[in-house]
Amino acid sequence: MRLLGIETSCDDTAAAVVVDGRHVESSVLASQDDFHRKYGGVVPEIASRRHAEVIGTVVEQALEKAGRTFEDFDGVAVTVGPGLAGSLVVGVAAAQAIAFARDLPAYAVNHLHGHLFANYLENSDTPEQAPPDGPFVCLIVSGGHTDLIHVESPAQHRILGRTLDDAAGEAYDKVARLLGLGFPGGPPLDDLAKSGNPRAVEFPRSLIADGSYNFSFSGLKTAVRYHLDAHPDDAVSRAADIAASFQAAVVDVLCAKTLRAADALGVGTVALAGGVSANSGLRAELRRRGEAQGLRVLVPPLAYCTDNAAMIAAAAFYRGNAARVPAAQLRADPNFAW
């Protein structure tokens, strides 16, 4: 089953061709970072205009790279939410037009399901890696979400906990701004942390032992701000130590809760998903602590951690009829619940 995936929920315009929810024939992405950087965050009006300008070309490129034409598809899958309304409607309109014109089945995909199903895509880093085969715990960490999910089967999942305030990626972006690292802040902060001492400053690990699976990162972000207010020189002379200490606090809480959930639920696998799963510290630490606990630790290839359309096609394949809708009923749903 070959699906065309389309993703425009935030500031990346993406299209992909995926066979059987696993084999990626192409995955094309037009990043808008250069357009938003000077504003220090995503400007919704700029994002939707830019999507509208490039969506046609991005879809064409995905077909071209895969060596396919519209005749070769069994359906079109698109992110309908959650996300920015003006951004979502561009992808949805494109998918709807293709579905109508080619009489193709349409699949309405939840963006967060997309992140989760990135774990089922063929991993070019380790092609032999099998997709998850039994129940697992998935930590979805992105710019807008920090959700811990019990995945009983591809069709059945339940939210164990989520952030009570800032998402992990949001905390990264805000702390990166305090350190003058630009936007998006996750990748440069991750790089800077590599040369710092993670024990230089003991930042708070909110809710780490509260027994719930919820998260809270706004106190940590505020602690970094207070620290920099009290020691203004640290933003320059000890930026790497601050970055490493902040990252250690985030990673510690994320790993502790994910591994405790796996233990309590008796599952043998944990998986990462979402933009923050590109974080080198989180990938390494979850692997180290998870494997020490006897768990299989799945981490999607880097390109499928941040927003992309291959994960949307994969989610549509695995969700099947649960995601299928008549093309006329495809609608952007900015608040689409899990």
Interaction site with ligand KG4 (CB under 6 A):
10, 142-144, 169, 172-173, 184-187, 190, 274-276, 278-279, 306-307
> CB under 8 Å to 327, separation ≥6 — which residues?
96, 99, 100, 104, 106
Q: Which is nearer to ligand KG4, 191 or 229 (CB)?
A: 191
Q: Which does 184 bind (CB under 5 to 8 A by kind): Zn ion, ligand KG4, none?
A: ligand KG4
Q: Which is nearer to ligand KG4, 75 or 144 (CB)?
A: 144
Asked whether position 142 contacts Zn ion by CB under 5 A, the answer is yes
Q: Which does 144 bind (CB under 5 to 8 A by kind): Zn ion, ligand KG4, none?
A: ligand KG4
Least distance (Å) between residue 129 CB and ligand KG4: 21
Q: Which is nearer to Zn ion, 111 or 221 (CB)?
A: 111
Q: Is 333 left (phi over 0), alpha (psi -120 to 50) or beta?
A: beta
Q: Which is nearer to ligand KG4, 122 or 147 (CB)?
A: 147
Least distance (Å) between residue 53 CB and Zn ion: 21
Least distance (Å) between residue 115 CB and Zn ion: 6
Contact 268, 255 (CB under 8 A): no
Contact 23, 321 (CB under 8 A): no
Q: Is 157 left (phi over 0), alpha (psi -120 to 50) or beta?
A: beta
Q: Which is nearer to ligand KG4, 18 or 104 (CB)?
A: 18
Least distance (Å) between residue 171 CB and ligand KG4: 8
Give CA–CA dist 330/322, Å, rounded.
Answer: 14
Q: What is the DSSP string of 301-333?
A: -GGGTSS-SHHHHHHHHHHGGGTEE-GGG----
Least distance (Å) between residue 50 CB and Zn ion: 17
Least distance (Å) between residue 29 CB and ligand KG4: 10
Scan residues 304-333 and list those touching Zn ion (CB under 5 A): 307
Asked whether position 173 contacts Zn ion by CB under 5 A, the answer is no
Q: Which is nearer to ligand KG4, 181 or 207 (CB)?
A: 181
Contact 286, 272 (CB under 8 A): yes
Least distance (Å) between residue 144 CB and ligand KG4: 5
Q: Which does 187 bind (CB under 5 to 8 A by kind): ligand KG4, Zn ion, none?
A: ligand KG4
Scan residues 249-308 and list those touching Zn ion (CB under 5 A): 307
Q: Starting from the edge strand earliest in sequence, which strands make up the sheet with 12-19, in order? A: 23-31, 12-19, 2-7, 75-81, 106-110, 324-325
Q: What is the DSSP string of 75-108?
A: EEEEEEESS-HHHHHHHHHHHHHHHHHHT--EEE
Peptide bond into 198 cis (omega under 30): no
Q: Which does 190 bind (CB under 5 to 8 A by kind): ligand KG4, Zn ion, none?
A: ligand KG4
Distances (CA, A) of 176 to 32, 230, 286: 19, 18, 22
Q: Which is nearer to Zn ion, 42 or 189 (CB)?
A: 42
